[in-house]
Amino acid sequence: MIFEPDVETMSREAMIELQSARLHEMVSRVYEQVAPMRERLEEAGIKPSDIHSVSDLSKLPFTKKTDLRDTYPFGLFARSTKELARIHASSGTTGKPTVVGYTRADLELFGKVCARALAGGGAEPGMILHNAYGYGLFTGGLGFHAGGESLGMVVVPASTGMTERQVMLMVDFGAQVLSCTPSYALTIATEFARQGVDPEDIPLRYALVGAEPWTETMRAEIDSRLGVKSVNVYGLSEIIGPGVSFECVEERSGSHINEDHFLAEIVDPDTGEQLPDGEEGVLVITTLTKEALPLIRYWTGDITSLNHSACSCGRTLTRMAMVKGRTDDMLIIRGINVYPSQIEAAFGGIDELAPYYRLLVDRTGTLDELEVEVELSEDAFHKVAAEFLSDEIVEADHLLRRVRDRTQRSIRENVGVSAKVTLLEPGKLPRSEGGKAQRVVDKRKLV
């Protein structure tokens, strides 16, 4: 279903007109109410009167995460804390968190865009939503909670962790829709198997997953093991949280951007120049209607591309490709740019492997070394174990060597780097308990 057809099926001409009016109003508001941004605009020689339409977007300066940290905690807010209804913050890995604020209107908007995402992913009023995103400073849990209620769903605020109990509740309550990170969806799938839950015996049919990069290989695994159609939901706390864009269940080919509220562009990561449809670059988003924390040309760091072609679901909203990675997650191995998702895609067609992996990067002398730890699938592991128990050690070694060689060759041919592949038994790598899975350990940074 389409939650707001008047907007989600709007003509391109009408959308540009709406975006242009909102862009001018937002820049005027930022100029008047956010001193650091007023100084930035004046340094660039820009007045609000210079911004008439979306075609003027490139005149405006970028905003980056460092700007939020440099003005911590409330320096870029356009409203005083007395006017706020809620404050969230991203955890980050070091230093102060990135703080975001919401007025009551912002929270209403947050629920609305998450409701659009849920509806796009197959959810309908009256369905039971098992929400396994984290509640608290992380925006995911409360965002999807509000979205479910806005759509008229029955929301189970499961949050994260205690996976055994979560599966019990999903089965007993009859959950029809699941929302969580893709890595946690696989953790739930593993618990399904452990408890002997057959997806065909329960009403679960849709999964809305996001908050971390994932691949088509993971989608196929989630779909088959949970018995669902899984769709990607994209967001980031600085912009609003989940609901910036969402895949439709009809095509599952690119996420529809809620572009009446979030104006997206793709820019060259080195020059900052705008790029045309289909070309990969950094996603930059300008908030058009946020009250508490309006952001001009926010540099997300996410690598993706845009697509304005028609979609069979009927929505005319621009679509963005699944995020390939982040500029700050990119590894440079012997001069070659490598994203974790590329590595996973390279071994995704090897049936003997499961979609649980970790990249270990180290340096021997002056040369970078990449090791890929990846788990065997349950079937492959049981086959190897059976051969060892039958003293067919040569056959077991041959199978392991064949899988290892195929994986190394696929990575070399598809990514362009050589990697040592270490095969692990199922369950060996740490599992996500609702948070983001750690895919990379870069030991070079520890030296």
Q: Is the pLDDT of residue 284 over 70?
A: yes
Per-residue pLDDT, 21: 98
Q: Are strands 128-131 and 98-102 parallel, antiparallel or unpaired?
A: unpaired
CB 315 within 8 A of CB 2: yes
Asked if residue 435 and residue 305 are part of one domain, the reply reads no
Q: Where are the alpha helices (DSSP H) in 198-339?
A: 216-226
Per-residue pLDDT, 214: 84
Mean pLDDT of 228-255: 97
pTM of the model: 0.84
Residue that terminates a domain, selected from 295, 326, 357: 326
Asked if residue 207 and residue 346 are part of one domain, the reply reads no
Q: Is the pLDDT of residue 94 over 60?
A: no
Mean pLDDT of 226-255: 97
Q: Is the pLDDT of residue 329 over 80?
A: no
Closest to 307 in 3D by CA, of 297, 293, 292, 317: 317
Residues 172 and 337: their CA atoms lie apart, in Å, by 47
Q: Is the pLDDT of residue 48 over 80?
A: yes
Model confidence at 440, pLDDT cuts 50, 70, 90, reads confident
Per-residue pLDDT, 130: 98
Asked if residue 389 and residue 360 are part of one domain, the reply reads yes
Q: Which amino acid is at 446?
A: L
Residue that terminates a domain, selected from 296, 326, 356: 326
Q: What is the pLDDT of residues 264-273, one digit of tens each?
A: 999 999 999 9
Per-residue pLDDT, 391: 62
Per-residue pLDDT, 388: 63
Find the CATH number of the domain harbouring 338. 3.30.300.30
Find the CATH number of the domain harbouring 66. 3.40.50.12780
Q: Which amino acid is at 187?
A: T
Residues 265 and 307: their CA atoms lie apart, in Å, by 11
CB 206 within 8 A of CB 176: yes
Per-residue pLDDT, 346: 87
Instruction: For residue 192, give both structure tokens.
Output: 């399904």
Q: Classify residue 12 by burial, with Cβ atoms within 10 Å: 0-12, 13-18, 19+.
A: exposed
Per-residue pLDDT, 333: 84
Share of the chain above pLDDT 90, in %: 73
Closest to 235 in 3D by CA, of 432, 90, 357: 90
CB 383 within 8 A of CB 395: no
Asked if residue 412 and residue 295 are part of one domain, the reply reads no
Asked if residue 402 and residue 347 are part of one domain, the reply reads yes
Residues 440 and 357: their CA atoms lie apart, in Å, by 9
Q: Is the pLDDT of residue 307 over 90?
A: yes
Cα angle 156, 109, 260 (rounded to 5 degrees) comes to 130
Per-residue pLDDT, 95: 61
Q: Which amino acid is at 354?
A: A
Model confidence at 97, pLDDT cuts 50, 70, 90, reads confident
Q: Which amino acid is at 334?
A: R
Per-residue pLDDT, 447: 45
Domain that residue 321 falls in: 1-326
Tallying the residues shown for the chain, one arrives at 447
Asked if residue 236 and residue 357 are part of one domain, the reply reads no
Domains of the chain: total: 2
Asked if residue 180 and residue 102 are part of one domain, the reply reads yes
Mean pLDDT of 271-298: 97
Per-residue pLDDT, 93: 43
Residue that terminates a domain, selected from 326, 343, 361: 326
The three-state DSSP-derived secondary structure of 341-367 is HHHHHHCCCCCCEEEEEEEEEEEECCE
Asked if residue 348 and residue 294 are part of one domain, the reply reads no
Least confident stretch, 191-195, 377-381, 392-396: 392-396
CA distance readout (Å), 334 to 288, 363, 417: 41, 10, 8
Least confident stretch, 140-149, 228-237, 326-335: 326-335
Q: Is the pLDDT of residue 91 over 70?
A: no
Q: Which H/E stretch holds residue 39?
A: helix 35-43
CB 311 within 8 A of CB 256: yes
Asked if residue 309 and residue 218 are part of one domain, the reply reads yes
Asked if residue 279 and residue 392 are part of one domain, the reply reads no
Asked if residue 396 and residue 349 are part of one domain, the reply reads yes
Q: Is the pLDDT of residue 211 over 90?
A: no
CA distance readout (Å), 381 to 170, 224, 374, 429: 29, 19, 12, 15
Mean of pLDDT over the chain: 92
Asked if residue 364 and residue 286 are part of one domain, the reply reads no
